[in-house]
Structures are given as C-alpha cells and as structure tokens.
Amino acid sequence: MPANERRSTRRFIMRVPLRFRPMKQASIPEESAASMNISTHGVYFATATKVSEGVLVQVHLKMPREIAGDDVEEWSFTGRVAHVEPLGTTNGKSGIGVQFLYYEVPPATGLFSNSR
C-alpha cells in the first residue's frame, strides 16, 4: 500500500445515485450526483456545486448490496468533505471526497414500526 494511501476499507468503483447538501446552508437545495467510488467509510463523486474542504454535508443514498451485505433502504449520512479536486478545465466540475462520520437508517415499516 502506498504511503499516502489512508483508506482502511475496500472501495467499490460503482455508480450509486445520491443527493447531498452542505448542512449549515439550509437555503441551498439538495443536489443530485452519482458516486464514482464508494466504501463503508465514504464516497467520492463529481459535482459542479462549490463545496469546501472540511464542510459538513448530508448525503442520502441507498448503500449497495456489495457493501451493506443485503438490500437496504436509503440511508442518511453526515459526512465531512475530506478533499476537493478539479476534474478538468472545461466542465467546471470537482471531485468531492466525503468521509462518513455517522448515519441513520430509516425505521423499518411493518410489525415493529414506530407508527401508533
């Protein structure tokens, strides 16, 4: 493993639809994107939205079976933008690496749901 390689989990090169937005900027609507790679600890995707390193973001996505081990509903992640890098000079997009800090799984519906 190269000295600059800090990942501790396997990355999957796959396109997973997601929605994200900076947490402290409620006026900014959610943006749609798709992962370029994803793991249990984070996601990397391209966007034209300007996001700075260190910013906390909310990310909604359906974690793939290859990672979660089963089919799951959409999860809500809180993450920190770990790195931002330009992706070419003509399209204005950046590659955004988000480190997941924690996540919420929506409650299951059915017999043991929280509805009363």
Region of 69 on the Ramachandran plot (φ > 0 left; ψ -120 to 50 alpha; else beta): left
- The two tokens of residue 44 are 């990397």
3 has a pLDDT exceeding 50: no
Quote the mean pLDDT of the chain: 85
What's this model's pTM, rounded to 2 decimal places?
Answer: 0.81
Task: Kindly provide the b/e burial profile for residues 76-89, where b requires at least 16 CB atoms within 10 angstroms of the residue's own CB.
Answer: ebebbbeebeeeee
Q: What is the CATH number of domain 17-104?
A: 2.40.10.220
Average pLDDT over residues 82-87: 94
pLDDT band at 109 (very low <50, low <70, confident <90, very high): low
